[in-house]
Structure 1
Amino acid sequence: MCLVEFTNIKCTSPDLEHVSFDYCYLKSVNRTYKYLSLKGIMYKKPVSNVKVTFALLKKFSGYKPFLYNITVDACKSLRNPNANPVFAFFYGFYHDFSNLNHTCPYNHDVIVEKLPISHVDHQFSKLLAFPTGEYQFFTDWFIKGINRATVRIYFRLY
């Protein structure tokens, strides 16, 4: 059984005319309840041409690719998330805690609210077994082929 601990989160937007982040943080309520929240503000709605790169990196003298690095058409993948098992695994991390639970177009801001560490721990210990170490979950969000947002979640597996 592994134990996951969030260590940091970084949300950036290379194009502030399209996307900015209202908030992006980790919160430790007590020793057992910790969560992640973020809100991406979309300025040019509706959004219907979205590709997402998901990568899992492991720290080996810097963060190196580990196991997964995929790019998917988010609009197509959200129509049938289970068609791509790797997408389904990553989507499983946040879909119950976000408003990214429908297909395009998106006429609203993107919110991930109070994603608990216990849920992430379940993904890593019950669904797939991962070795202990420090990891980075990396996502790039492309709208109309241009990188509009990057979210990096850092965590440690014990």
Structure 2
Amino acid sequence: MATALHPVNDVVIDAQVFKRANGYKPWLYKGQFDGCRFLKKAYIPLVIFIFKLIKDYTNLNHPCPYVEAVIFKFTNAVCENHNKTWITVHKCRLRAISRNKTTFNLNLTLNYPVDHPVNVKGQLLQKANGYKPWLFSANIDACRFMKRAYNPVAILVFKLFKEYSNFNHSCPYVGPVIIQDFYLRVDKIPNAMPTGDYLLVLAFSFSKKPQITTKVYFAFVEDLL
């Protein structure tokens, strides 16, 4: 295990494959490639093959820069449905991909159109003799946000999962709401967090009533040494 103490960019890797024949002799491949470019979009067939061999056992799972986090992953997910007539929850669970990578999957159906206003109360809590409020607590109108993003913290949270969801238009919403294979990436947050266990609570209300609450637990570890 190694820890990057400062953000890492511009990674040049010299790679060579040897075959044993009266000592080890160069065989098949010798070359140099850009590690950051490769993690953004894989190229060079042999390097792709080697990376696939180790991918499930490593935390090399996002483009550069790489910083000091050793673990940044989901640990639990709970969806509390307060109105089963309006909302049907088909799936709300985590899937372990590797030791340090867990994906969040949500699949629900809005049985009737949902329109302005949709109040979302978001709160981030940190574990310390139970989960205590930490960093932010905010209320936003989701319909207004989808029309034109506002609130810096809400924008940050939305950018984390936007590419894994079908949240791509303004209200009204009806039918499937999906988040698929969403995993946490260090490069999506502006600053490292203190090591700890966290809980992100998002409580959705519309028609003046609580409708659904999602509770997503995650861990951030800066250094295991």
CA distance in 2, matches of 1:29, 1:5: 11
CA drift of 1:28 comes to 1.2
**In the alignment, what sits opposite 1:142?**
205
Matches within 5 A, 1:9-158: 9-31=77-99, 33-44=101-112, 46-49=113-116, 50-81=118-149, 83-117=150-184, 119=185, 121-124=186-189, 127-158=190-221
| 3-state SS of paired residue (1:8) | strand
AA matched with 2:76:
N
Where 1:108 maps in the other structure, the secondary structure is strand
CA contact (8 A) 2:73 2:101 kept: no
8 Å CA contact 2:74–2:183 kept in 1: the answer is no
For 1:34 and 1:14, locate their aligned partners in 2 and report how far apart those are by CA, in whole Å: 26
After superposing on structure 2, the runs of 4+ consecutive aligned residues of structure 1 that deviate more than 4 Å are none
Please tell me whether the aligned partners of residues 111 and 175 of structure 2 are also in contact (alpha carbons under 8 angstroms).
Answer: no
**Structure 2: which amino acid aligns with 1:69?**
S
How far has the Cα of 1:32 moved from its partner? 5.0
Q: Secondary structure at the match of 1:141?
A: strand
Q: In the alignment, residue 152 of structure 2 is paired with which amino acid?
A: P
The letter for the 2-side match of 1:57 is L
1:99, distance to aligned residue in structure 2 (A): 0.9
Identify which of structures 1 and 2 has the higher relative contact order when contacts are C-alpha pairs closer than 8 Å and 6+ apart.
Answer: 1
Per the normalisation by structure 2, the TM-score is 0.64
Contact 1:99–1:112, Cα closer than 8 Å, also in 2: yes
| Residue 94 of structure 1: how far off its partner (Å) | 1.3
Identity of aligned residues (%): 28
Using structure 1 for the length normalisation, give the TM-score: 0.89
What do residues 71-93 of structure 1 show as CA deviations (whole Å, max 9, x unaligned)?
A: 10001111121x32111011112
In structure 1, C-alpha distance between the alignment counterparts of 2:177 and 2:78, rounded to whole Å: 16
| Higher-Rg member (1/2) | 2
Three-state SS of the structure 1 residue aligned to 2:192 is coil
Structure-1 separation of matches of 2:72 and 2:198 = 10
Deviations 1:54-83 (A, max 9, x none): 1110011111111111110001111121x3
Task: Say whether the 8 Å CA contact 1:23–1:39 is kept in structure 2.
Answer: yes
Gaps of 5+ in 2: 1-67
- Give the superposition deviation at 1:29: 2.4
